[in-house]
């Protein structure tokens, strides 16, 4: 089953202070600081000395929303909900970015991926995949701990798959 982007839930509540919200075009600008962060670009895009402008982000998000469900990852702060990253659920790919460094290493990625695996099972996905750069041990450990298995590799990255 391939998602067409129109099956998305508006909000997926993970915890009282953590949720996924369907990403709208007016939200694209929220991602600019994430994709201007050299560490985010290195771990998620394999890029050094490169950032994404709004047009590149728009192209990426249009592609991701076309192949699956594209969500903002939001945290409840004292002033309200704050977008801190993005994630996509599809059979082709399950990329996740926690763009706000202060939220790295807190288990948010684990909670998000776990919830989306439940969602994938509910909507009848057969599998999902993720590609992880070989130097990104944190992501590799996260996905393998949640049941993803390595299916291939090349000189730069591993490809993992999860079967529902």
The pLDDT score that the predictor gives to residue 47 is 86
Beta bridge partners of 72: 21, 86
3-state helix, strand, coil in the chain (%, to 5): 35, 30, 35
The pLDDT score that the predictor gives to residue 9 is 81
Alpha helix (H) residue ranges in the chain: 38-40, 54-67, 108-122, 137-145
Non-local (6+) Cβ contacts of 52 within 8 A are: 31, 32, 35, 36, 41, 45, 60
The predicted-structure confidence for 25-82, as pLDDT tens digits, reads as follows 999 999 999 999 999 999 999 988 899 999 999 999 999 999 999 999 999 999 999 9
DSSP label at residue 7: S
Q: Please check the confidence at residue 8 and state whether its pLDDT lies above 90.
A: no
Classified as helix, coil or strand, 24 is coil
- Measured between alpha carbons, how far is 87 from 130 in angstroms, rounded to an integer? 11
The C-alpha angle with vertex 30 and arms to 61 and 99, in degrees rounded to 5, equals 85
Mean pLDDT of 136-150: 97
Q: Please check the confidence at residue 5 and state whether its pLDDT lies above 60.
A: no
The pLDDT score that the predictor gives to residue 76 is 98
Tell me which of 11 and 7 has the higher pLDDT: 11
Non-local (6+) Cβ contacts of 100 within 8 A are: 34, 82, 84, 85
CATH of the structural domain 11-163, one choice from 3.20.20.70, 3.40.630.30, 3.40.50.720, 3.40.120.10: 3.40.630.30
- Name the residue among 47, 43, 67, 50 with its Cα closest to residue 140: 43
Q: What is the pTM of this model?
A: 0.93
The C-alpha angle with vertex 102 and arms to 12 and 92, in degrees rounded to 5, equals 45
Domain boundary assignment for the chain:
11-163
The pLDDT score that the predictor gives to residue 49 is 85
- Measured between alpha carbons, how far is 33 from 101 in angstroms, rounded to an integer? 11
The predicted-structure confidence for 66-98, as pLDDT tens digits, reads as follows 999 999 999 999 999 999 999 999 999 999 999
- Measured between alpha carbons, how far is 96 from 145 in angstroms, rounded to an integer? 16
């Amino acid at each position: 089953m391939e998602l067409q982007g129109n099956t998305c839930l508006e909000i997926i509540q993970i915890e009282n202070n953590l949720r996924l919200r369907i990403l709208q075009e007016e939200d694209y600008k929220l991602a600019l600081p994430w994709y201007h962060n050299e560490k985010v670009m290195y771990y998620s895009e394999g890029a050094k000395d490169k950032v994404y402008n709004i047009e590149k982000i728009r192209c990426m998000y249009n592609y991701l929303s076309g192949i699956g469900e594209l969500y903002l990852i939001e945290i409840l702060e004292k002033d309200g909900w704050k977008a801190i990253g993005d994630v996509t659920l599809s059979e082709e790919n399950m990329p996740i970015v926690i763009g706000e460094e202060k939220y790295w290493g807190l288990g948010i990625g684990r909670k998000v991926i776990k919830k989306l695996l439940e969602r994938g099972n509910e909507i009848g996905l057969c599998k999902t995949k993720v590609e992880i750069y070989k130097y990104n041990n944190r992501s590799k450990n996260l996905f393998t701990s949640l049941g993803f298995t390595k299916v291939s590799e090349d000189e730069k990255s591993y490809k993992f798959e999860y079967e529902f």
